[in-house]
Amino acid sequence: MKKIIDILGIVLPALIIILGIIRVFVNKTKGVNGLTMFFAVLLLLVGLIRFYVFPEGGSSGDNGQKPPPLSVSKHSEAFNLSLDNVLKAYYSMTNGFADNSITAINEHGTGLKTALDSLKLDELKVDSLIYQTAIQPYENAKAEIGSILADPSMDEKKGSLNIFSNELFALLSTIHYDRAVLYWLECDKAFGEDKPGNWLSNAEESLNPYGQKDCRDIKTRINFVPTDSTKAK
């Protein structure tokens, strides 16, 4: 509709000008008066400027830019919330490792165990292949959090954390976690020379849960965040 109005803004004053010229030079009759002709020319210029200079009707204030569409997860809100609870408890637990606090590890590890038990993984059954692929690292992670809680020493807990983190990484990669970018970090000497340990973080800069303060490299990212709102839930 707007395009049609812009075109009419050019055509109508052009017709007035043409008819005036025809009446004067072809029909030898009195043409359109000068004031009318002036306004017709003015309207024609305005119409041409609107059509060619501002084709989308944008103003110099906003440069015609449109706001980016909202990102839409392919998972349900309930599923995402249950998974967010898992990640929040996991981050708190890894901070407990970084602080070398068995008390904090066990406290947040217990919360993580509860969050894993409450994860709404059944939603993935709509895609049997993804569900069957995800169920193994999920069950492994549930078993490994039990080991973290049961291990008596910090060294044993760190070993179980490394195994748990690998299972969680596999789970998130399989289900295409798309709420945020996650970082898969590694300390190449977590358990001695050439014996790496890994963990997940929602930030590039993250405390090393294995005890080496400045040992941290980004090995890869989990990034399935949708770029537009056409993504299906």
CA 34 to chain centre: 60
Is the pLDDT at 226 greater than 60? The verdict is yes
Give the pLDDT confidence of 54-106 residue by residue, as tens digits.
Answer: 555 444 444 445 444 444 678 899 999 999 999 999 999 999 999 999 999 99
Mean pLDDT of all residues belonging to the chain:
82
Q: Are 5 and 43 in contact (CB under 8 A)?
A: no
pLDDT at 228: 59
Is the pLDDT at 110 greater than 90? The verdict is yes
Model confidence band, residue 26 (pLDDT cutoffs 50, 70, 90): low
Residue type, 41: V
Collapsing DSSP states into helix, strand and coil, what is residue 61?
coil
Q: Are 208 and 187 in contact (CB under 8 A)?
A: yes
Output the pTM of the full model: 0.68
The larger pLDDT score, comparing residue 69 to residue 6, is at 6
pLDDT at 2: 54
Q: Are 47 and 10 in contact (CB under 8 A)?
A: yes
Residues 84, 89, 201: CA angle, nearest 5 degrees: 75
Give the pLDDT confidence of 119-167 residue by residue, as tens digits.
Answer: 999 999 999 999 999 999 999 999 999 999 999 999 999 999 999 999 9
pLDDT above 70 covers a percentage of the chain that reads: 67
Q: Outline where DSSP puts E strands in the chain.
A: 182-187, 197-201, 217-222
CA separation for the pair 53, 49 (Å, rounded) = 5
CA separation for the pair 113, 146 (Å, rounded) = 8
CA separation for the pair 171, 179 (Å, rounded) = 14
Highest mean pLDDT among 38-42, 147-151, 213-217: 147-151
pLDDT at 229: 40
pLDDT at 15: 61
Is the pLDDT at 181 greater than 50? The verdict is yes
pLDDT at 213: 85
pLDDT above 90 covers a percentage of the chain that reads: 62
Q: Pinpoint the alpha helices (H) of the chain.
A: 2-25, 34-52, 77-98, 102-117, 128-150, 154-175
Task: Over range 170-177, report the average pLDDT.
Answer: 96
Model confidence band, residue 45 (pLDDT cutoffs 50, 70, 90): low
